[in-house]
Amino acid sequence: MQVEAHLQKIIDQEGKVHLTLIDPASQTPERAAEIALAAVEGGTDAIMIGGSTGASGTLLDETVIKIKEKVNVPTILFPGSSAGLSRYADAVFFMSLLNSRDIGYVITNQVLGAPLVYRSQIEPISMAYLIVEPGGTVGWVGDAKLIPRTKPEIAAVYALAGKYLGMHYTYLEAGSGADKPINPEMIGAVKQVLGENKLIVGGGIRDAEAAKLCASAGADMIVTGTVLEEVMDVTAKVAEIVSAIKR
Ligand SMILES: CC(C)=CCC/C(C)=C/CC/C(C)=C/CC/C(C)=C/COP(=O)(O)OP(=O)(O)O
Ligand SMILES: O=P(O)(O)OC[C@@H](O)CO
Ligand SMILES: [Mg+2]
């Protein structure tokens, strides 16, 4: 419970958590570690490591190792399949894509990955993963029956089912690089049924204003990925978003 407890403590003390997503397929392990360090200097709370394509094997292991050499915030795997696990990470979002049509993303990858988690020190954090329109690459790869942007009630009943199945976290995903983030009405409806359970929101959040909208609507944690691959000054971008969400 170390990483989960750590994130809870940050929520208790600072209101919200900021997560930086690094895709091992987007740059070298050395560059990934530089981005992670810059993000930590900007105030990010943990580094998520994963991608929907190609984040596995030596490249994944090396990326986790280099990041851990540079920063001391938790590293959390965000696996696209059982191949997205690395024994070097601190934790894993042990997630089920509840709105997938493909049983592989609902349970089979988790079954195949479970023994590695059991044999390692990786802390599993149970999570309901829900993909909303437009869904991006992950929506396609995960064969998601995309939740319509304008149907908060559908997202809420999925979240409720995840909570009743015992999942501690719910992740509302608009897709990496989405043109707009999940809308506040949906975030509010989901957080209302979740109560104390934690809500992560990501996809298309690129500035302070968008992050603040999501956080104020009820997101406990905000994820940024793509925008940090694009900007020159990662520290400044993270600091902008972090200062907009923390109290
Ligand atoms: C828990 C275990 C062992 C496996 C879970 C397997 C599941 C449910 C995967 C869900 C679907 C999926 C393909 C997720 C990938 C993770 C993800 C959303 C990465 C997004 O990373 P980016 O790199 O920003 O996106 P792109 O890959 O689209 O660029
Ligand atoms: O890359 P962005 O758009 O920040 O999205 C982050 C994350 O929600 C993707 O899985
Ligand atoms: Mg990517």
Domain boundaries, the chain: 2-245
Q: Is the backbone of residue 177 left (phi > 0), alpha (psi -120 to 50) or beta?
A: left
Q: The domain at 2-245 falls in which architecture?
A: Alpha-Beta Barrel (3.20)
Question: Which tokens go with 150?
Answer: 């304008």
Residue 235, annotated as binding a ligand = no
For the chain, 247 residues long, the average pLDDT of each consecutive 10-residue run is 94 98 96 98 98 86 98 98 97 98 98 98 98 97 98 98 98 98 98 98 98 98 97 98 97
Question: Distance (Å, rounded) from C-alpha 179 to C-alpha 224?
Answer: 13
- Check residue 55 and give its pLDDT: 78
Counting ligand 2 atoms within 8 A of each CB, the residue from 17, 130, 172, 173 with the most, and so the one to mutate, is: 173
CA angle (10, 14, 16) in 5-degree steps:
75
Determine the atom of ligand 2 nearest the C-alpha atom of 50: 10
Interval between CA 26 and ligand 3 midpoint (Å): 6
- Give the model confidence (pLDDT) of 2-23 as tens digits: 999 999 999 999 999 999 999 9
What are the residues whose beta carbons fall under 8 Å from the beta carbon of 154, sequence distance 6 or more? 147, 148
ipTM surpassing 0.90: yes
Helix 208-217, helix 184-194: angle, nearest 10: 40
pTM equals 0.97
Taking alpha carbons only, the member of 217, 210, 225, 220 closest to residue 246 is: 220
